[in-house]
C-alpha cells in the first residue's frame, strides 16, 4: 500500500517559479519510479516528468523541457518538481504518481498509485 501527498501548489505570476513536493509512504514505495502528471480543465491528464529509483534517469515532456526539473530524495521518500519560467498553459492540478518500470513511461495507465493533486495557477 502506497500513499502519496502533494504540496507546494499555489498562485504564481507568469515567468515565476514554484516547487512542488510529493511525500510517499507505504511498504511498496521502495524501488518505484516516480512521476508528475497534470490535468487542466477540459483536458486529459498529461505526463510532465518522471524519475527512476536511483535518479539515474529522468524524462520530461517536451512542453516543460528546460523549465522543469524533477528530483528525488529516497532517504526522505520525496520527489520534487522545480518549475521555472512558468507559463499560463502550465495551469493545472498536478499529481504525483508511482509505479514500476522505466522512467520514461508517460502513460497514466503505467502508474499504480496517485496523490490527490495540488493546484498550480499561473496568472498574467
Per-run averaged pLDDT (10 residues), the chain, 124 residues: 94 98 80 92 96 89 98 90 98 95 86 96 97
C-alpha torsion sign, points 11, 12, 13, 15: negative
Beta strands at 10-13 and 118-123: parallel, antiparallel or unpaired? parallel
Q: Residue 74's pLDDT is what?
A: 82
Amino acid at each position: 500500500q502506497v500513499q502519496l501527498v502533494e504540496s507546494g501548489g499555489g498562485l504564481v505570476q507568469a515567468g515565476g517559479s514554484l516547487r512542488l513536493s510529493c511525500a510517499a509512504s507505504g511498504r511498496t514505495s521502495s524501488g518505484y519510479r516516480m512521476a508528475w502528471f497534470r490535468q487542466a480543465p477540459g483536458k486529459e491528464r498529461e505526463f510532465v516528468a518522471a524519475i527512476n529509483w536511483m535518479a539515474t534517469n529522468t524524462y520530461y515532456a517536451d512542453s516543460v523541457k528546460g523549465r522543469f526539473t524533477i528530483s528525488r530524495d529516497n532517504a526522505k521518500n520525496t520527489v520534487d518538481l522545480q518549475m521555472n519560467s512558468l507559463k499560463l498553459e502550465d495551469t493545472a492540478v498536478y499529481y504525483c504518481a508511482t509505479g514500476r518500470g522505466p522512467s520514461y513511461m508517460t502513460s497514466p495507465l503505467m502508474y499504480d498509485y496517485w496523490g490527490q493533486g495540488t493546484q498550480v495557477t499561473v496568472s498574467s
